A = this chain, B = another copy of it.
Amino acid sequence: MARLPVSGQAYPGLSRMTAVTPPESSARRPRRSRPVRVAEAIKDWVVEQGLRPGDRLPGEAELIARFQMSKGTIREAMRILQAQGLVETKTGPGGGSFVGEVSRERAHALLANYFYFQNLTIADVYALRLSLEPELAASLAGRLTEAQLAELDEIMKAYAVPAEDSEGERAQHVASLRFHARLSDFGDNALLGFFIGFMAQILTDLTVYKRLYAAPNHDLWRRGRDHQLQLIAALRSGDAAAARQVMESHMKMARDLMEDQEAEVMKRFIAE
């Protein structure tokens, strides 16, 4: 394995390639603690070496020797990287730390923490969905495999018949949000997929934790389901204009429905 860019001195010169925070803030920054600096050094090293997810990182003992710091300091540094999803650690022989791909779920959670103190409204989320999802639908028309279309059909089975109570209604709403999340995965734009998936996650959490979607409404159920059926049909036949238009109607209906429920949002942290 290539060696860390450290060879005796306690604080190796960090590579400049990955600036940490905007230059302006470098003046007022109070000087970072050792674990933070170690974490940065390791991160830079991973980038320099071009390591990929699954690749092995030096063990605790080796890091202690390289950085000339105590075990506790090194461990805190690794915790920082773990908290960000950048490394994973296993005990036992063959164990150790490994480069970890930041999972989509973790990225969602980290981002949700940011919005915890912003006051986001449901209207904000739907304004964005209305901008993005119809475009996505249009871009996907005629480009889905039969397997993907079948998966969407499968998800829709969760709400093939109207819900009978609030609990069922919520479960169906969560399933229908999964429909949108999956759809966003099928596109080839990872950024768009992430944004749409994140919004679906927010709305799912709201539904589950804040007990939104309490009132079963058979008429709305039918209209929402019809939208998605029409959407699948348009996607299958390759009719981009129809896909866009159906999705737009669907979003508007969902927005109106949601806005009736609650205005204020986002009272939660995501942990780990």
Interfacial residues, chain A to chain B (CB-CB below 8 A): 17-22, 25, 32, 35-36, 39-40, 43-44, 46-47, 52-53, 72, 75-76, 79-86, 101-102, 104-107, 109-111, 113-120, 124-125, 127-128, 131-132, 135, 189-192, 194-195, 199, 205, 208-209, 267-272
Q: Which residue of the partner chain, among B36, B106, B268, contacts A17 with CB atoms under 8 Å?
A: B268
User: A74 CB to closest chain B CB, in angstroms?
Assistant: 11
On whether the beta carbons of B269 and A43 are closer than 8 Å, the reply is yes
User: A5 CB to closest chain B CB, in angstroms?
Assistant: 14
For residue A53, which residues in chain B have a CB less than 8 angstroms away from its CB?
A: 117
Chief secondary structure at chain A's binding surface: helix
On whether the beta carbons of A40 and B79 are closer than 8 Å, the reply is no
A/B interface sample: 29 pairs, CB < 8 A: A18-B209, A19-B208, A20-B270, A39-B272, A43-B269, A43-B271, A46-B269, A72-B72, A75-B76, A79-B83, A83-B83, A83-B84, A84-B84, A101-B117, A104-B114, A106-B114, A107-B110, A107-B111, A111-B111, A119-B190, A120-B191, A124-B189, A124-B190, A124-B192, A128-B132, A128-B189, A131-B132, A131-B135, A195-B195
Q: Which residue of the partner chain, among B35, B79, B82, B195, contacts A128 with CB atoms under 8 Å?
A: B195
In Å, the complex CA distance between A43 and B205 comes to 17
In Å, the complex CA distance between A19 and B271 comes to 7
For residue A19, which residues in chain B have a CB less than 8 angstroms away from its CB?
A: 205, 208-209
In Å, the complex CA distance between A20 and B83 comes to 13
In Å, the complex CA distance between A104 and B32 comes to 19
Q: Which residue of the partner chain, among B75, B127, B205, contacts A189 with CB atoms under 8 Å?
A: B127
In Å, the complex CA distance between A208 and B135 comes to 31
On whether the beta carbons of A47 and B269 are closer than 8 Å, the reply is yes
